[in-house]
């Protein structure tokens, strides 16, 4: 059986289950377009495409802040996507952190600035939280500017990393994504059957999914429906398995035991999307019972 050439554009709730599922490599060729990368917004997905097409230069430091895999390079032989069979996307945020025209990985930014300002210091941690969560993610310009100015005073070193950390504090701004425009743009570029996996920020103890920020889930579903795309919500599988068993403490990531179970569900979804080729796919894998 020919493996399906598959492009996976998403975060850890898609990438890690795929890598944990032995059958994934038998059914899909999902590394044809390079190693998996944590991609959280449509802007970051477009950046990945620009990179493998060689359409844009990404300086080394920007590559690290975008968390491009070290072994990823331009792939001109496949970058027109003519052989692409199916794609799945999992946008996890409507907010891009923009620095000199690049959308950066939020964890990489926090760690980079934190390392320069003084890791392990409670006062620094509080300032980082205010700068990042309230200022950038919360679109509170006063909080962003105030925290950034205080963090800048703590970074006085002359190393290249210190200089970049200061520039990140001075120049990084948040921008809200256009969910429909992003999804439509990907659909136009890839020109293949495409499915969307919903992102759930957290789960309640009873398994109910929590969406954050407010309206993000609804906007994502509306965008997919407007393009008649398949949508998969992992909530029922998490509930069927048991939220405590499926999720690590804190509820943001899947446990090692649950990853291959979710991976099998994603494989079925990808195959269903490819078979349908157009129209809304009504797909819900049977929940797996916990031992």
Domain locations along the chain: 4-94+177-276, 104-175
- Closest by CA to 124, choosing from 160, 146, 150, 149, is 150
The whole-number pLDDT of residue 286 equals 39
Condensed to tens digits (0 to 9), the pLDDT of residues 12-34 reads 999 999 999 989 999 999 999 99
Cα separations in angstroms, 287 against 151, 193, 231, 235: 47, 25, 17, 10
Considering only 33-42, 180-189, 201-210, 278-287, which range has the smallest mean pLDDT?
Answer: 278-287
Confidence of residue 231 (pLDDT cuts 50, 70, 90): very high
Confidence of residue 249 (pLDDT cuts 50, 70, 90): confident
Condensed to tens digits (0 to 9), the pLDDT of residues 133-155 reads 999 999 999 999 999 999 999 99
How many percent of the chain have pLDDT more than 90? 79
* Torsion angle, alpha carbons of 203, 69, 221, 230, to 10: -110
Query: For residue 284, is pLDDT > 70?
Result: no
Residue 122 · residue 160 · CB < 8 Å: no
The mean pLDDT value for 35-43 works out to 96
Contacts of 254 (CB under 8 A, 6+ apart): 13, 16, 17, 246, 247, 248, 262
Q: Is the pTM of this model over 0.75?
A: yes
Number of H helices and E strands in the chain, helices first, is 13, 10
Query: What is the distance between the alpha carbons of residues 8 and 38, in angstroms, rounded to a whole number?
Result: 10
Query: What is the distance between the alpha carbons of residues 168 and 178, in angstroms, rounded to a whole number?
Result: 24
Report the length, in residues, of the chain. Answer: 291
Condensed to tens digits (0 to 9), the pLDDT of residues 71-113 reads 999 999 998 999 999 999 999 999 999 999 999 999 999 999 9
Domain 4-94+177-276 has CATH 3.40.50.1110: yes
Condensed to tens digits (0 to 9), the pLDDT of residues 167-176 reads 999 999 999 9
* Helix orientation angle between 141-152 and 160-171, rounded to the nearest 10 degrees: 160
Cα separations in angstroms, 27 against 4, 23, 85, 149: 6, 6, 12, 51
């Amino acid at each position: 059986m020919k493996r399906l050439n598959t492009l996976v554009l998403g975060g850890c709730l898609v990438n890690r289950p795929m890598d944990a599922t032995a059958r994934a490599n038998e059914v899909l060729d999902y590394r044809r377009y390079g190693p998996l990368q944590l991609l959280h917004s449509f802007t970051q997905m477009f950046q990945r495409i620009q990179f493998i097409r060689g359409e844009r230069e990404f300086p080394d430091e920007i590559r690290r802040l975008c968390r491009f895999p070290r072994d990823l390079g331009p792939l001109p032989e496949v970058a027109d996507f003519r052989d692409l069979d199916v794609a799945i996307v999992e946008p996890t945020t409507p907010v891009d952190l923009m620095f000199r025209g690049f959308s950066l990985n939020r964890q990489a930014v926090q760690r980079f600035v934190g390392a320069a300002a003084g890791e392990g210091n409670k006062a620094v941690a509080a300032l980082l939280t205010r700068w990042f969560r309230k200022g950038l993610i919360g679109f509170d310009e006063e909080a962003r500017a105030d925290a950034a100015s205080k963090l800048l005073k703590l970074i006085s070193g002359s190393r290249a990393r210190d200089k970049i950390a200061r520039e990140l504090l001075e120049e990084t701004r948040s921008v809200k994504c256009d969910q429909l425009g992003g999804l439509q743009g990907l659909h136009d570029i890839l020109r293949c059957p495409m499915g969307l996996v919903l992102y759930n920020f957290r789960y309640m103890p009873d398994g109910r999914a929590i969406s954050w920020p407010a309206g993000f889930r609804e906007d994502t579903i509306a965008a997919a429906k407007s393009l008649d795309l398949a949508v998969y919500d992992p909530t029922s599988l998490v509930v069927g398995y048991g939220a405590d068993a499926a999720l690590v403490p804190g509820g943001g990531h899947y446990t090692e035991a649950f990853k291959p179970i979710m991976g099998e569900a994603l494989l079925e979804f990808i195959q269903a999307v490819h078979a349908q080729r157009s129209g809304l796919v009504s797909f819900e894998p049977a929940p797996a019972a916990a031992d």
